[in-house]
Structure 1
Amino acid sequence: MVTEFRSAHWYGGDDRNGYIHRAWMRRGLPDSAFSGRPHIAIANTASDLTPCNAHLDEVATSVRDGIHEAGGIALNLPVVSLGETNVRPTAMLWRNMAAMATEELLRANPIDGVVLLGGCDKTIPSLLMAAASVDLPAIVVPGGPMLTGTFRGKVLGCGTDVWRLSEDVRGGALSREEFTRSESAMIRSRGHCNTMGTASTMALVAEALGVLLPGLAGTPAPDSRLLSAAHGTGRLAVELIAADRRPSTFLGAGSFHNAIVALAAIGGSTNAVVHLLAIAGRLGIPLTVADFDRIGADVPLLVDLQPAGRYLMEDFHRAGGLPAVLREVRDLLDPAALTVTGRPLVEYLDDARSWDPAVIRPRADPVQPAAGIAMLRGNLAPDGAIIKPAAASPELLRHRGRAVVFDSIEDFHARIDDPDLDVDRDSVLVLRGCGPRGYPGMPEVSNMPLPRKLLAQGVRDMVRVCDGRMSGTAYGTVVLHVTPEAAAGGPLALVRTGDHIVLDVPSRLLELDVPAGELAARQPSEASASAYAAPSRGWQRLYIDHVQQADTGADLDFLTGSSGSHVGRESH
């Protein structure tokens, strides 16, 4: 139990420092705020430029009410917000900056705990990385998915159907006018993508980790139950401080084990791999890409949601949500792993049910029997690469094809639709220079659009290999996170058009079929090297100098490991 609030180091005493801290905060705070009441920050990523999080000010109001009701002092703390759809070159470039900035704000201010409000892809990961590092009592409220939209009588999956409709336009099956008309139908309410993209995945994985109220993840953004749960979260935040329940006291290896099981069972985004590795790294918990394969590869896919299936997040929520999924795989979970409530995750599964077995399937009738993230190794990925079999074409999971190489995303865009491009349906599209250092920021470009001339022939999937990431809303037979990346001296830099690449997912193999001696004699592509990022200043310079590779979470090397919530030196 906590014996003295951290905030008392600022507000206690009758000296000049205490006077200054109290006086400047007396703009609405009563005298009781400075004697025996916990101060709780609401780390709020609401922003008009992060459309998925624009409603979080309303959610913050409900959190505030819950904190006040339980006797705490609620303090709104706007933090760095990253809008996936607007930020260029890629939101991932600033995930670590957002985490570092939030960590420093939490450490520097007179607060005893924090409620983390996130929604869009990078906000929940960055908030959790920060909370893990500063190790104050912390709890998450996810912003929730948008409601289902329809277009021409059919439901639209936000993100997933963008890829599908845009390919229909490129293939001549849909006019640009109709494509544009679908915009307002796809985005019909507040909230993040309603497919099993990265935003939905990270909210659900966060629940499996145990850092939010059980049963909350996946509640649609416009649903009044989200506000009710936000109020309850505010109340619980006060309890966390009284019990001194910090991330380090309940997050352990078992928590990440459960997150990996959940990731596989929901058919979640591959982006969760790099985010979970980064969060574990902040906690000092040993987690590797191989753990995702070892723990999750044989877990059945139970959720029939786009992009791997048919339904959307609104359906998932009404069908029972994550507890209904986890109840089906309860025997695969770590029974001792705790949640932020102080109780084990498995204790919340007794009454869970799937109310629609078409959406959340019984274990005896899965969407796929084994669909977790697969880790590949070979001379093309010495430190590993990943693939999501649930989103791939089964016939391409074993494939040998001729490489068609692109030295940068600009090179790809310039040539992919060239009618003279030497490519066929059996080719392997290779894109390099898109890793953490090369781009920089490891963008979501691995799910490369197919050549227009092949789309016209009816081709809808090909093997693709890249050192970047793939959108969680995307699908296809895509090998991504190839490590080391080309810009870090990885073998991907040595591939030439015409080489043959062997993909064998059942054998976990990604091999460049080139003799070792010939490969050793090759030099990296000059065209590729000339396209690597080379900033001279600012965040991008710091990022490139210190970013780690995808297999350890692409965090900065000086941010790994928890450093605790020390109060710090006085400033007056």
Structure 2
Amino acid sequence: MRSSQWYGGTDRNAYIHRAWMRRGLPREAFEGGKPHIAIANTASDLTPCNMHLDEVAQSVKQGVWEAGGVPLNLPSLSLGETNVRPTAMLWRNLAAMAAEEMFRANPIDGLVLLGGCDKTIPALLMAAASVDLPAVVVPGGPMLTGHFRGVPLGCGTDVWRLSEEVRAGTLSQEAFLASESAMIRSKGHCNTMGTASTMACMAEALGMTLPGTAGTPAPDSRLLERAHDSGRLAVDLVREGRTPSQVMTRGAFLNAVVTLAAVGGSTNAVVHLLAVAGRLGVDLTLDDFDRTGAGVPLLVDLQPAGRHLMDDLHRAGGLLAVLKEVADLLDPGAVTVTGRPLVDHLGDAEIWDETVIRRRASPLLDDAGIAVLRGNLAPRGAVIKPAAASPGLLRHRGRAIVFDSVEDLRARLDTVDADETSVLVLRGCGPRGYPGMPEVGNLPLPAKLLAKGVRDMVRISDARMSGTAYGTVVLHAAPEAAVGGPLALLRTGDPVVLDVPARRLDVDVPASELARREPVTTGFAAPARGWERLYVDHVLQADQGADLDFLVGSSGHEVSRESH
């Protein structure tokens, strides 16, 4: 056991390590080669979606003890999407770095990773990939569906929808505020196929959860059962020596890309999967999302791409039932934390409600993969989610209306000269530009157009958008405006051409004219100190996962110096 490097022997250091841990552990915890399992726990009262993870951790502990291991709670940096400013993404890399350092520095043999809200599972996967200690993920699960005036509410998705109806004048402010108490019915993360649900599905598709766990609602007693079983499994993983690098292979990442399309998952999964792959040295690029996702049908009828919600997906058969329909597209050799291939776990899966999970022969959309666009506005790529877009806008030419920052957008949105053919462009919101690449890409529409009944327009940015959002929204344009990317050359009035089937995003302006223009980087000012300064100086672009340049690649779990 790795932990024996701390606890084994009779010298002073071993004495200190054991004695201080004897406040709660018996002498037997340090004998007989018992695996010490850290439970990386992102519970926090300020991360509402993860508040229940202390309860989940107790079930994990019971499983670890039962299997002959020693469970140890390890509080990990927690990022709540709804509260932290300016955006939780600013600290994803910090959370990953802090977790990695604590995993490496402490006397532990294996890991159970407890995450829920959007950035917590990606950060923990990045950390586990970097240290490569045996690990298993337990997703915190989605909330139950709340209802308002008899209508089910999709967390996030209906916030965007209802707030736009207020601006359109079709819903009163009083009714909007009255829905607030019904939006969040129970513990758990968003009940739509937003980023939190998507990343739980990605963890399972990567092989990092017990198959059948992703999507189990947070209040469901079966989540605690799965947590208990995951604690047992963590002990087995240590004894068998199965590590994340053996599970998260290139084949596993391609399985995740297939899964992302089949469930209609969040565009944020692209930047997170690229970051995790970078930590492992797995060759994954934007082109893999387009190439592998092409032709994958959308089978899950969930908001924001469809109608239903996460507890519906669970009762309808869950993720394994979805994957069974596309089993021929999955890598048959990619294994899970069980040691068996993912495809081996699909045999007993069944679809119990075909209005929620469609059969392969009758999908919601024939080709649902994330589309990667290139052109003179995004030479290194941009992404769009066709499943959440308006089909009539996937080929579009319109006059650009350019905003230089979020603040500029808020100040001028309702006064600009726009019609429904206009293309709204927001720049200065990429990884460096804000900084942190906030979820502001799904720009609200001008009030006068909402009043006319317009509910979607082409929107382009170097930012991200919430996985719960929808619309014909082009995101992650790289390189971003703040580093001199082509969006910085765009001017209001320029004709912009979007052609998703052809995978193109261009401004129809002569190259000679673009070469004469000075880039506009208004609003970008490098922070003077602290984490933000480190982040801005070292963050990579969206097409590289927006990780820090010096964190790419695995460092392993060996500690360079002993304690003294």
TM-score normalised to structure 1 length = 0.98
Q: Which residue of 2 aligns with 1:504?
A: 499
Read off the aligned partner of 2:471 and give its amino acid letter: G
Amino acid at match of 2:434: Y
The aligned residue for residue 535 of structure 2 is 543
1:220-369 alignment runs, 5 A limit: 220-369=217-366
Structure 2 CA distance for aligned equivalents of residues 222 and 143 of structure 1 = 9
Shift of 1:571: 1.7
* Residues 440 and 533 in structure 1, CA contact (< 8 A), matched pair in contact too: no
Tell whether the 8 Å contact from 2:389 to 2:470 is kept in structure 1 after alignment.
yes
Alignment of 1:554 onto 2:546: yes
Q: CA deviation at 1:532?
A: 1.0
- Alignment match, 1:207: 204
Correspondence for 1:479 among 456, 474, 478:
474
The residue matched to 2:505 in structure 1 has which SS? Answer: strand
Output the amino acid matched with 1:554: A
In 2, Cα distance between equivalents of 1:313 and 1:227: 18
Question: How much has 1:297 moved relative to structure 2?
Answer: 2.1
Residue identity opposite 2:477 in structure 1: V
Give the 3-state SS of the residue equivalent to 2:414 in structure 1. coil
Residue 507 of structure 1, CA deviation:
0.3
- Counterpart of 1:31, as a letter, is R
Amino acid at match of 1:517: S
Query: Which of 412, 419, 433 pairs up with 1:438?
Result: 433
Partners of 2:290 and 2:247 lie apart in 1 by 24
Residue pair 1:437, 1:533 contacting (<8 A) in 2 also: no
**Distance in 1 (alpha carbons) for counterparts of 2:294 and 2:169:** 38
- Residue 126, structure 1, aligned to residue 118, structure 2: no
Question: Partner of 1:19 in structure 2?
Answer: 15
The residue aligned with 1:465 is 460
Equivalent residue number for residue 90 of structure 1? 87
1:142–1:533 Cα change, 3 Å: farther
- For 1:17, give the aligned amino acid: N
Cα displacement (A) at 1:488: 1.2
What secondary structure, in the 3-state scheme, does the structure 2 residue paired with 1:232 have?
helix
Amino acid at match of 1:11: Y
State the 1:199 CA deviation: 0.2
* Structure 1 position 137, deviation (Å): 0.4
1:184 aligned to 2:181? Answer: yes
Q: Tell me, which stretches of 5 or more residues in structure 2 are unaligned?
A: none
**Structure 1 residue 139, shift from structure 2 partner:** 0.5
Aligned mate of 2:559, from 560, 563, 567 = 567
Aligned residues: 563
| Residue in 1 that maps onto 2:406 | 409
Does structure 2 conserve the Cα–Cα contact (< 8 Å) formed by 1:396 and 1:463?
Answer: yes
For 1:427, the equivalent position in structure 2 comes to 422
C-alpha contact 1:9 1:567 (8 A) present in aligned 2:
no
1:451 aligns with 2:443: no
Write the distance in 2 (CA, Å) between the matches of 1:246 and 1:385: 33
Task: Note if contact 2:428-2:522 (Cα within 8 Å) is conserved in structure 1.
Answer: no
1:175 to 168, 172, 175: 172
Aligned AA for 2:450?
Answer: L
Q: Tell me the CA shift for residue 184 of structure 1.
A: 1.3
Instruction: Give the Cα–Cα distance (whole angstroms) in 1 for the partners of residues 191 and 232 of structure 2.
Output: 28
Residue 60 of structure 2: aligned partner: 63
Question: Partner letter of residue 534 of structure 1?
Answer: A
Distance in 2 separating the partners of 1:335 and 1:362: 21
CA contact (8 A) 2:208 2:247 kept: no
TM superposition shift of 1:371: 1.0
Task: Measure the CA separation in 2 of the matches of 1:58 and 1:339.
Answer: 25
Deviation at 1:567, TM superposition (A): 3.1
Q: Partner of 1:198 in structure 2?
A: 195
Residues 277, 284 of structure 2: 8 Å contact kept: yes
- Using the TM superposition, give the Cα deviation of residue 250 of structure 1 relative to its aligned residue in structure 2, in angstroms: 2.1
- Indicate whether 1:8 and 2:7 are aligned: no
Deviations 1:156-189 (A, max 9, x none): 0000000000001000111111111101111010
Q: For 1:335-381, what per-residue CA distance to the aligned partner results, in whole angstroms no more than 9, with x for missing partners? A: 00000110000000011111000000000000001011000000000
Counterpart residue type for residue 46 of structure 1: A
Matches of 1:533 and 1:564 in 2, distance apart?
A: 35
> Is 1:159 aligned to residue 156 of structure 2?
yes
Q: Do 2:156 and 2:190's aligned partners in 1 also have CA atoms closer than 8 Å? A: yes
Q: Secondary structure at the match of 1:139?
A: strand
* 2:551 partner SS: coil
Match of 1:77 among 68, 74, 77: 74
Say which of 109, 115, 118 aligns to 1:112: 109
Q: 1:174-218: CA deviations, max 9, x gaps?
A: 111111110111101000000000000000111000000000000
SS of residue matched to 2:374: strand
Identity across matched positions, percent: 75
SS of corresponding position for 2:513: helix
Secondary structure of the equivalent of 2:379? strand
Structure 1 residue 128, shift from structure 2 partner: 0.1
Measured against aligned partners, the alpha-carbon deviations of 1:65-109 in whole angstroms (never above 9, x if no partner) come to 000011100000001000000000000000000000000000000
Contact 1:462–1:476 (CA under 8 A) maintained in structure 2? yes
Residue 570 of structure 1: CA displacement? Answer: 1.2
Check the 8 A contact 2:194/2:466 in 1, yes or no.
yes
For residue 200 of structure 2, what is the amino acid of its counterpart? A
Counterpart AA for 1:27: R
1:547, 1:119 → 2: CA distance?
24
- Residue type of the alignment partner of 1:249: Q
Per the alignment, residue 526 of structure 2 pairs with 534
Q: Write the letter of the residue equivalent to 1:453.
A: K
Give yes or no for contact 2:398–2:495 (8 Å, CA) kept in 1.
yes
Distance 1:214 1:107 in 2: 27
Separation of aligned partners in 1, 2:508 and 2:559: 56
Distance of 2:525 and 2:335 partners within structure 1: 42
Q: CA RMSD in A?
A: 0.6
- Alignment partners' CA distance in 1, 2:420 and 2:374: 24
Work out the CA distance in 2 between the residues paired with 1:476 and 1:113.
Answer: 42
